[in-house]
Structure 1
């Protein structure tokens, strides 16, 4: 078989299904929405509605979130059809292997590794900062030496809290999905209750005059704002990583993916309505606009509770992303494109603990010792690459006679998948040049790994399609 034939051979769906059957099916639609909401609703809900309103959209930020949700919905529906048709581990990586071939699958997987791990590392650093601020409220202070990245000149050597919270989540996930989801569900409920608390309390301080002018930046402000807040919705795709552990996946996976997007949109828009009603949009360009609005009306106690909600939001986001990245690395190891021990499932609790621990070590090093704030935007490009392939992948998926789907199907086929692809490509053009250069370096490294290791060790069985 030539190199080109190896790169373009398509994975056999039956091989994946037979290997992933080792997972325990414990997740229901409710758990999937908790995973999705845990990933999507993070600290962004306490920041973006204010800062984007002040600089880009004005009170029209409400419509910006709606437009961004509609854009995400096109990709979400494509993910839902894939998840319903192919309930296998690995999410977009496995979908790419099956409909496009091994090399495209690897490119998608390599992009998702970048997205998931960088996202967790960045958020764990944010969690550490919030935790430090929370302790200060009680008169406690963490030593500077263990409060930041390795920067001896500034007196910081390791971000210990960031490392510890990552390992705490890993310990939780290693004990099984049933108990992990119980804790995650509780944290998600706490987070939503705190958001609802802000909406209810803030409602009594709304001044309708603050919504005028509604579109101070013009109609273009709605769309510019939508391009900015689009990234607030990222994370719903991680739900599809759980496919082998889901009961009735054809029914529950689409509910989890689309349900996540609907609930997130309602919460984002509600917070935007209250926030811009409480405070003139021109005053909201601050790091913590929700807390700022509450302090402005002398509700300092509620503002303190919001910080707890922010930490809960970051915690659940990390749960979802660590979980998803471990399943992704498991899937790539299962196929032999990475060392095979990563594709092993523990016989005791039926979990891929090798990949989970490996992922955690890498994330710990990034969050504990490196300043990764400048690399955070790479999360966006990794996501959009996966979105693009999943969107256009619906076309070859529908042509496969060996893949049945009695569940969700994208409406307006083939127009909607093409529209989704176009929207993803457009958003990619809005990313900074530095982001493209850094991502190019990442993908060059990925190609070198694939050509030197993956292509020679792949154990993918070839589909006859």
Structure 2
């Protein structure tokens, strides 16, 4: 058994929190208040409650099937390798679009807070992206410890923002509570939805825990508590302190900090934006790089990428491919002036499809009739509706799924031809070996 680093409870919670939190929290309280007024607090609470069945479903599946394949492994157990390959492609090949887009958002917030322009935005985004790749290239020991420090610092900064602003709270800011009617709460919830996504991203790290069956439950519970305190605390404080001003603001957290600590608000907002985006990328890269190695191990991606698929190892080849693909996406976006929104929506369609696939697999694999099974049923139904709203961006997961299934079919046909010809030294055999799964070494 590997004696290399395994994720502890604190580090695991930090990775989970990093995957859920994102730079959107800096602006979304204002957007939600603009849609529903103070009643937007109901949307925050409803989505936090919805997180419970999603999170517990993935925790239960990870405890039963701890593997770097994550959701792809769950789908393989439930429906077979063909579908699991498609799911793996959805997550792995969406990451090179999602990571640069996330880094750019962080750069935008930092530049805005500092009063800088596009050059600073791009420089900060590039720095964040490179730092996240470098952290994961060193190994999970480094990336998990960095994540623990960053999430701790982020939590402290958010608590400072809340606690220093609370003396300015006014209950009168709660009225009128629902100025745009009850339906507006649903609109606010749709805006806030993606601040609660990310549970599927860390399933690929389930095999990295010392005791997945116990640790995943504890980490999931701790993450739900941390997310609940930070999100609800920030949302309630924004509504009570800023009142009508909240809906008109583009940077509500900066306003909140200005009320509490004064002129240092912009610099702290810039730091928080960078921490939020780095934490998200760090968690997603840790999961995606291990997924790529697992897909190569299973013959879905070329075999050389499988190096590092075992718990405790560093999948540097898979990470290097993600780095190259991310660079190509950045170059394409800059050369074609592709809008950030389109890049993020395309990546989101793939990530939502992964979540739906994982939850549907949970319906098949988890004990029927149990509380966690019912949670998976409800969450799968809700997430399927959300996926349908991806519209034309569903073309990307369809194309990636077709590529995965086609690649597996082609590889299987090639292996069959080699076996039929009886010529293991042929050129066709060498082509097959490039895609075949690596043999397991004896420990």
Indicate the residue corresponding to 1:93 in structure 2.
Answer: 72
Counterpart for residue 252 of structure 1: 215
Residue 296 of structure 1 deviates from its aligned partner by: 6.8
Question: Following the alignment from structure 1 to structure 2, what is the Cα–Cα distance between the partners of residues 285 and 110?
Answer: 40
Matched, 1:306 2:285: no
Q: Aligned match of 1:436 in 385, 394, 402? A: 394
Rounded to whole Å, the distance in 2 between the matches of 1:292 and 1:263 is: 23
Partner of 1:353: 316
Give the corresponding residue for 2:294.
331
Deviation per residue, 1:59-114 (Å, 9 max, x gap): 12222111112222222111011111011111101111122101110121122124
CA distance in 2, matches of 1:351, 1:81: 25
8 A Cα contact 1:114 1:378, kept in partner: no
Are 1:113 and 2:92 matched, yes or no?
yes
The residue aligned with 2:418 is none
Q: How big is the alpha-carbon RMSD for the aligned residues of Structure 1 and Structure 2?
A: 2.8
Give 1 or 2: higher helix fraction: 2
CA pair 107-212 structure 1, distance change in 2 beyond 3 A: same
1:89 aligns to what SS in structure 2?
coil
Q: Distance in 1 between matches of 2:262 and 2:327?
A: 37
Task: Check conservation: 1:337, 1:455, Cα contact below 8 A.
Answer: no
- Report how many aligned residue pairs link the two structures: 413
Partner of 1:308: helix, strand, or coil?
Answer: helix
Further displaced range: 59-68 or 377-386: 377-386
* Cα distance, 1:410 vs structure 2: 8.8
CA distance 1:61–1:410, change in 2 (3 Å): farther
Indicate the larger mover: 386-395 or 40-49.
386-395
Q: Label 1:398 to 1:232 Cα distance change in 2 as closer, same or farther (>3 A).
A: closer
Gap runs ≥5 in structure 1: 1-20, 149-158, 400-408
Q: Deviations over 1:226-247 (max 9, x none)?
A: 2221210112322221122211
**1:426 is aligned to 2:385:** yes
Going from structure 1 to structure 2, the CA distance change for 1:271 and 1:228 (only over 3 Å counts) comes to same
The 3 A distance-change label for structure 1 pair 446 and 272 is same
Are 1:272 and 2:230 counterparts? no
Rounded Cα–Cα distance in structure 2 between residues aligned with 1:383 and 1:185: 24
Ranges in structure 2 where 5+ consecutive residues have no aligned partner? 415-434
Mapping of residues 36-435 of structure 1, within 5 Å? 36-55=16-35, 57-133=36-112, 159-281=122-244, 283-295=246-258, 299-345=262-308, 350-367=313-330, 369-370=332-333, 371=338, 373=340, 374-398=342-366, 411-412=370-371, 414-431=373-390, 433-435=391-393
For the residue of structure 1 that corresponds to 2:347, the secondary structure is helix
Q: Secondary structure at the match of 1:236?
A: coil
Larger CA deviation: 321-330 vs 358-367: 358-367
